[in-house]
Amino acid sequence: MIGGLEASLRRLTHYDYVEDKIKKSILTDSKADILVHGMGELAVCEIAEKLSAGCTIDQLAGIPGTAYNLRKNSPAPEKFFELPSCRQILSDNKLFMQAHLEYQKRCFPEGEAVVQDQGAGRIAVMPPSRPLSEAEMDRLYSLPFTRETHPDCRKEGEVPALESVKFSITTHRGCFGGCSFCSIYFHQGKEISSRSEGNIIKELEKLSKRKDFKGTIQDIGGPTANMYAMKCRKQKICSRQSCIYPNICKHLDCSCEKLISLMKSVLRWKKAGRGRNAFVASGVRYDLAVKSDEYMRILCKEFVGGHLKVAPEHFSNNTLKYMGKPRFGLFEKFENKFNEESRKAGKEQYLVPYFISSHPGCTNEDAEKLTEHLVSKNIMPRQVQDFTPSPLSLSTAMFVSGIDKNCNKIFTAKGSSAKKLQFALLRYYEPKHFGIISKHLSRKRKFRLLEQIRKKADYQKKRKR
């Protein structure tokens, strides 16, 4: 049996960036009997119960949140959709996009199973397990996690990544943002499963009693910090990838009431002298945040430790459209509110904007627009990520197929020099990038912008000296 994030996202024929290759489902390649996708608790329990009741491997077929090999004794689900096969995709890249979109439409708990021929046998992928209820989330997060490095790894020293999460609290899981480059939709789902306020505060109390607690909770959040307790008002969620893009769905209850109540409880915990700080370090979805003045006030006044991460991802609306992100104007609205509330609170604090270079659909002209904006505002972003096509995201389907979800041909910066240029345009202020930028902008006769960049790069050079 295989599971976890890697297996989960490689459940179907997928693209592997490291090997630059379209690969069969990892279920086929690994020769496992069953694959658990998503967060897995319900599927693992059902598998365990069935095995201890004496079921054979073949009798595990059909459990939600799993994928399995179709054999004589484990037939296809009663109702399913057949995706383009691995062989068909290999001979026509555009079918990669078609397979992705057909799967996305069915990948929710009330959706439909899919079947895909891998060349070495067919597999069935069941719809995801239902989301956990509040009581189940509370029970899960009340388990005695040690928050320590696993004993087997201790000989190699401490795990550095643990440090940033050791005193963090997960309030919920799932994300309905549906950004094209993100696979959370396919792993955690878009329905939000939240813990109760009481259960979260209990964990806070428990953490503050630890000997190694120094008074700071590093993060209170989830995949998107401010989606806590938000939900769809309809009984059954739909197949739309995002509940907030291109517009906020009328069925979405995006009130911050419960989130604000939780934040106030955390403040009471702090005021009672049990901790010094509690921060929000998870990403904040700014198009939702600007809808509540009270949330913005409490966030800026009490929960920002000098810097707050936000992800406008780009400036060009053309690129933002491919990313499934709101228009840049909304980020500016958030930025204004953030600055205003920080000033009112008497705090000097900054936004840390995240950007992606070379996203599918992003032309060099789009990248230049972003550079022009950054230069004009004197923003020097440190957080620039070159696009990495992770399995099972819409952006990866664009990267592989060369088309968008409407089957229109798109430009994608591929190959190291094309990618380097877009990355350099975003980190324009670094002297090491000046050569590549200069060559490009001179060719385009953008001398004014080039001169501005040269000044910034020179300034950085002097500072380093």
Residues 6 or more apart whose CB falls under 8 angstroms from that of 240 comprise 178, 249
Q: CB 127 → ligand SF4: shortest distance, Å?
A: 15
Q: Which is nearer to ligand SF4, 243 or 298 (CB)?
A: 243
Q: How far apart are CA 304 and CA 351, in angstroms?
A: 10
Work out how close the CB of 190 gets to ligand SF4 at its nearest, in angstroms, rounded to a whole number. 7
Q: 10 Å Cβ neighbour count for 350?
A: 12
Query: In angstroms, what is the minimal distance from the CB of 177 to ligand SF4?
Result: 11
Instruction: Report DSSP letters for 83-150, one per residue.
Output: PPPHHHHHH-THHHHHHHHHHHHH-STTS-EEEEE-SSSEEEEPPPPPPPPHHHHHHHHTS----S--
- Measured from the CB atom, the residue of 223 and 391 that comes closer to ligand SF4 is 223
CA 220 to chain centre: 16
The encoded tokens of residue 101 equal 């979109």
How far does Cα 55 stand from its chain's mean position? 37
**Among all chains, which residue has been given the structure tokens 């069915």?**
106
Cβ proximity to ligand SF4: between 71 and 234 the closer is: 234
Q: Is the peptide bond before 128 cis (omega within 30 degrees of 0)?
A: no
Between 176 and 434, name the residue whose CB sits nearer to ligand SF4: 176
β-strand partners of 317:
none
- Which residues are at the interface with ligand SF4 (CB under 6 A)? 176, 232, 234, 237-238, 240, 243, 249, 251-252
* Helix extents (H) in 124-196: 134-141, 160-163, 184-187
Q: Least distance (Å) from ligand SF4 to the CB of residue 329?
A: 23
Residue 76 or 248 with smaller CB distance to ligand SF4 = 248
- Report in angstroms how near the CB of residue 80 gets to ligand SF4 at its nearest: 23
Q: How far is the CB of 186 from ligand SF4 (least distance, A)?
A: 15
Q: Which residues contact 272 (CB under 8 A, 6 or more apart)?
A: none
Question: Which letter does DSSP use for residue 410 in this model?
Answer: -
By C-beta, is 144 or 246 nearer to ligand SF4?
Answer: 246
Q: Sign (positive/negative) of CA torsion 329, 334, 339, 343?
A: positive
Q: What's the min distance (Å) between Cβ of 297 and ligand SF4?
A: 26
Record the tokens describing residue 368, joined without a space. Answer: 């230049």
Give the closest residue to 116 by CA, choosing from 69, 154, 153: 69
**Alpha-carbon torsion angle 431, 432, 435, 437, nearest 10:** -80
Rounded Cα distance between 60 and 71, Å, is: 12
What minimum distance in Å lies between the beta carbon of 193 and ligand SF4? 14
Query: Taking the complex as a whole, how short is the minimal distance between the CB of residue 253 and ligand SF4, in angstroms?
Result: 8
Contact assessment for residue 149 and residue 134, using Cβ atoms and an 8 Å cutoff: no
Report the residue number, 39 or 227, with the smaller CB distance to ligand SF4.
227
Phi, psi of 66, deg, nearest 5: -130, 165
Pick between residue 44 and residue 252 the one whose CB is nearest to ligand SF4: 252
Whichever of 251 and 461 has its CB closer to ligand SF4, that residue is 251
At 11, phi and psi to the nearest 5?
A: -70, -25
- Minimum distance from residue 229 beta carbon to ligand SF4 (Å): 14
Nearer to ligand SF4, 154 or 251 (CB): 251
Give yes or no for a contact between 354 and 333, defined as CB atoms under 8 angstroms apart. Answer: no
For ligand SF4, the closer of residues 185 and 334 by Cβ is 185
Q: How far is the CB of 325 from ligand SF4 (least distance, A)?
A: 17
Structure tokens belonging to residue 445: 């006769």
Looking at this protein, which amino acid is placed at residue 116?
A: Q
Within 10 Å of residue 314's Cβ, how many Cβ atoms? 26
